[in-house]
Amino acid sequence: MDVDTYIVTRRSLDGVLHVVETDAQLTFEQASEYIFKGEWDRVVSVQAYNTVEGWSQDRTEDAALEVARWARDEGYLPRPALEFVDAVDQELANEVRWLEV
């Protein structure tokens, strides 16, 4: 089946990295929304891959941009989402920091 698959990695409170269990049908937009809403906290990376086409790609920066877009559109930014954006791109985080709730 030719489909893009996303893997989200987060850091637990004890510092260990874990892959978030996701549905195989998870889209990039859904992953970004879950990060924005704080459903996943301490997110470290978002990776995309397609085994049929034979590629993988780091989508972490794209996810941070998408989370910032969500914040601007919705008018607020949960702390876990801000922490994610800040870890990826401090300049971008400074642009949306005022929306933190």
Q: Which residues contact 70 (CB under 8 A, 6 or more apart)?
A: 32, 33, 36, 81
Average pLDDT of the segment spanning 36-51: 93
Is residue 23 predicted with pLDDT exceeding 80? no
Give tens-digit pLDDT for 53-94.
999 999 999 999 999 999 999 999 999 999 999 999 999 999
3-state SS string for 48-75 = EEECCCCEEEECHHHHHHHHHHHHHHHC
pLDDT of residue 14: 94
Tokens coding 24: 């195989």
Count of domains forming the chain: 1
Residue 19 amino acid letter = V
**In angstroms, what CA-CA distances link 42 with 49, 52, 89, 99?**
22, 30, 15, 19
Question: Which one-letter amino acid corresponds to residue 43?
Answer: V
Using pLDDT thresholds of 50, 70 and 90, give the confidence band for residue 1: low
- Residue 14 is part of which domain span? 5-99
Its pTM stands at 0.90
Q: So what's the pLDDT on residue 33?
A: 94
Average pLDDT estimate for 8-19:
94
| pLDDT confidence bin for 26, thresholds 50/70/90 | confident
> Which residues, listed in sequence order, are joined to residue 10 by a DSSP beta bridge?
18, 43
Q: Quote the CA–CA distance of 76 and 84 in Å, as a whole number.
A: 15
